[in-house]
Amino acid sequence: MDFVAEGLKFTVQGVDWEYHEKAYLMLHKPAGYECSQKPSTYPSIYTLLPAPIRQRGGGAAAGVQAVGRLDQDTTGLLLLSDDGKFIHRMSSPKHHVPKVYDVTAKHPVDDQQVQKLLAGVVLDDDPKPVRAAACEKTGEQTLRLTLTEGKYHQVKRMIAAVGNRVEDVAGLHRSRIGSLDLPADLKPGQWRWLTAQDLAAIAGAPRV
Q: Please, are residues 130 and 154 in contact by the beta-carbon 8 Å criterion?
A: yes
- pLDDT of 117 > 50? The answer is yes
Q: What are phi and psi of 168, to 5 degrees?
A: -65, -40
- pLDDT of 172 > 80? The answer is yes
Distance CA 98, CA 167 (A): 23
- pLDDT of 13 > 60? The answer is no
3-state SS string over 24-69?
EEEEEECCCCECCCCCCCCCEHHHHCCHHHHCCCCCCCCCCEECCC
pLDDT (0 to 100) of residue 205 = 47
User: Which pTM value belongs to this model?
Assistant: 0.86
Write the DSSP string, 79-115: EEES-HHHHHHHH-GGG---EEEEEEBSS---HHHHH
pLDDT (0 to 100) of residue 168 = 86
Distance CA 53, CA 56 (A): 5
Distance CA 18, CA 9 (A): 4
The more confident residue out of 145 and 40 is: 145
**Average pLDDT estimate for 155-179:** 94
pLDDT (0 to 100) of residue 8 = 53
Q: How confident is the model at residue 55 (pLDDT cuts 50, 70, 90)?
A: confident
Distance CA 119, CA 115 (A): 6
- pLDDT of 4 > 90? The answer is no
Would you tell me how many other CB atoms lie within 10 Å of the CB of residue 8? 11
pLDDT (0 to 100) of residue 124 = 83
The more confident residue out of 126 and 60 is: 126
Which of the residues 2, 16, 71, 125 is marked catalytic? 71
Q: How confident is the model at residue 207 (pLDDT cuts 50, 70, 90)?
A: very low
Q: How confident is the model at residue 61 (pLDDT cuts 50, 70, 90)?
A: low
pLDDT (0 to 100) of residue 49 = 93
Distance CA 102, CA 108 (A): 15
- pLDDT of 62 > 80? The answer is no
Distance CA 135, CA 52 (A): 40
71 a catalytic residue:
yes
Domains and CATH numbers, the chain: 9-93+183-195 (3.30.70.580), 98-175 (3.30.70.1560)
Classify residue 15 by burial, with Cβ atoms within 10 Å: 0-12, 13-18, 19+.
Answer: exposed
- pLDDT of 12 > 60? The answer is no
Q: Rounded mean pLDDT of the chain?
A: 87
Plot region of 127 (φ>0 → left; ψ -120 to 50 → alpha; else → beta):
alpha
